[in-house]
Amino acid sequence: MKIIIVCYPTFGGSGVLATELGHQLAANGHSVHFIAYEKPVRLKDNDETIFYHKVNVPFYPLFNFQPYELALSTKIVDVAKKNSVDLIHVHYAIPHAYAAYMAQKMLKMNSINLPIITTLHGTDITLVGKHPFYKSAVKFSIEKSNIVTSVSQSLKNDTHEFFDTQKEIEVIPNFVDIKKFDNQLQKCSSQDSKMTITHVSNFRPVKNIRTLIKIFSILSGKFDCKFNLIGEGPELEIARSMSEDLQIKNIYFLGNTNEVEKVLCHSDIFILPSKTESFGLAALEAMASKNAIVSSNSGGLPELNLDNITGFTCDYNNIQGFVSSIEKLLKDDTLLEKFKVNAYNESKKYDIDDVVPLYEEQYKKLLS
């Protein structure tokens, strides 16, 4: 098949998932055309079956905000015509599914039928989608997609509830390449005797960064452990400033990386206190790196992080709950090791070799 993938090119979960999906589809013999305003951060386009098409948005003083959706839909039409594409797979309902529908209608005028599969990732539903300025457009985009998938049962339920839609939604979870994480675990040798607690995110308010730093501050006063923070975003400087003011010892801001497994393999506990999280790809990557997980119980996280099995869950604003959970693990090596092994075994259920075929089944359904 020849497949267009439209995604955000960032370090966030949706962009990473879309990129890794494209790599695996190419490995399975498909041709994949990525369309985005920048090259996706994990995209390796040295494969003759992977192509990247940049969306250029010319600047016109007439517009306060340049019409990206128009440029995107035009680019989809252009790529589809030139490459005889079979289908469009968009990640995020808005603006991608909206632009894809416009492209679909333009192509139909040229007797080209191009079906759309839309994958919902979370903030397109739980944050942006709920805003009254966008809600009607998001609902329209969902209902006009030929097939809709979501990354968790929680997100599926939220979509039906928020948008009062009966559109059928197939749950296909996020995934990891277990082989890649296994290879890194084999190479990994402990460089530090300190217990290491890690957080990975885009440092947006929804990730509850202020609470995270307060948790680290309390733990730093009780334990000689190490804190790694991976990622960048709007609240990164707030996190740095708070950590200095609170005099947190052994805290390291590592920035963005395309090889998160090289950091996670040295970690013992992964913390994710998000206010909302439709799946939690960062937590899954930590599980594949044999980390015990301490997360909020928001959204789809309890589907992934099984409480008292792979780690602990608690309310996102319960600072003492997070501290107590991590204390239990730091004080009990046997429990920590048990959770680490359980987390790793649970991550195997989300292996790329098992999940990507679920998308391929949906593609076949679209074209049948």
All domains of the chain in start order, with CATH: 2-175+352-367 (3.40.50.2000), 178-350 (3.40.50.2000)
- Residue 229: CB atoms within 10 Å: 25
Q: Is 51 helix (H, G, I), strand (E, B) or coil?
A: strand
> Whole-angstrom distance between the N-terminal and C-terminal Cα of the chain?
13
Tracing tokens 């709007």 back to the chain, one arrives at: 234
Residues 13, 138: Cα–Cα separation, whole Å: 20
Ranges of the chain whose pLDDT falls below 70: 11, 45-46, 62-65, 124, 127-130, 190-192
> Residue 43: what pLDDT?
87
Q: Cα–Cα distances in Å, from 127 out to 37, 133, 158, 261?
A: 22, 12, 11, 29
- pTM, full prediction: 0.91
Nearest partner of 286 among 216, 246, 228, judged by Cα = 228
Exposed, middle or buried by CB within 10 Å (0-12, 13-18, 19+), for 56? exposed
Q: Which residues of 19-28 are buried (b: 16+ CB within 10 A; e: fewer)?
A: bbbbbbbbee
Half-sphere exposure of 281 (CA within 13 A, CB side): 23
Kindly give, in sequence order, each residue whose CB lies less than 8 Å from that of residue 364, ignoring residues fewer than 6 positions away: none
pLDDT of residue 136: 87
Supply the pLDDT for residue 135: 84
Question: Is the bond preceding residue 95 a cis peptide, omega within 30 degrees?
Answer: yes
Q: Residue 196 carries which DSSP code?
A: E
**Cα Rg of the chain (Å, integer):** 21
Burial of 108 (0-12, 13-18, 19+ CB in 10 A): exposed
- pLDDT value of residue 128: 67
